[in-house]
Structure 1
Amino acid sequence: MTAASARDVAGIVAAHADTPVEQLRPNTRLWHDLRLAGDDFGDVIEELHRAYGVTLRGGLEEYCRTEADLSWAFLWWPFASWTFKREKRYRDLTIAELATAARSGVQVG
């Protein structure tokens, strides 16, 4: 594993979020700001794990919507708009936190 810079981590996040890396800041949150969820969120963590040993503390569902949540919401949206009025609170996860974890190879979150 090589040492990670904040820019390296931001590049990985930007690729999965389909966002220019120049628009990302250290305090950019994966779910709350970029709406990374499900497989895309998981792919970011997996790529950071392979490259820098980053692991996520807790389950994916603590940080963002899962694919099952996204599929259910999409299918039932016309019939159950009330499901969107009670948004679950997800834990913040920033690019800065990911970069720190990538440099030290520890759990994040």
Structure 2
Amino acid sequence: MANVESKDLEGIVLKIAARRQPIGGSTRLYHDLRISGDDAFELIDKIGKDFGTKFEGFKWDTYFPNESEALFAHIWRIFGGGKKFKPLTFDHLLNVVRTGYWFEPPA
């Protein structure tokens, strides 16, 4: 288990999301911060490199739209259509980092 401070992970997430305001534990990476596509990959890759977290079994398309989907996903959501993505919260990501490997959030 890694002894990772919340602020360390938050700094990475805020940089990728291009935000300055602090985020809370229930903040959803895609739904609230609009992290998707290449940015989502960059985030997960950086977390793996910086903290040694393993993401084997992580299903990208369950949590994030790819680059081309991201262009239309917001519009589709407004009208109630399109693919639904499971929420991935900051708190769950922090728990994953502290545990050292990916696990599904509780239902």
Structure 2: stretches of 5+ with no match in the other structure? none
Structure 1: stretches of 5+ with no match in the other structure? 75-80
Alignment partner, residue 11 of structure 1 = 11
Percent of pairs identical after alignment? 26
Larger of the two Rg values belongs to structure = 1
Of 87-96 and 30-39, more deviation after overlay is shown by: 87-96
Alignment partner, residue 44 of structure 2 = 45
Query: Over residues 4-48 of structure 1, what are the superposed CA-to-partner deviations in whole Å (9 max), with x where a residue is unaligned?
Result: 11111111100000011x421111110010111000011111111
| RMSD of Structure 2 on Structure 1 (CA) | 2.2
TM-score (norm 2): 0.78
Runs of 4+ in structure 1 displaced over 6 angstroms? none
Query: Over residues 56-104 of structure 1, what are the superposed CA-to-partner deviations in whole Å (9 max), with x where a residue is unaligned?
Result: 6432111121013236x49xxxxxx7xx231321111111111111111
- In structure 1, give the amino acid aligned to 2:91: A
Query: How many pairs does the alignment contain?
Result: 98
Alignment partner, residue 35 of structure 2 = 36
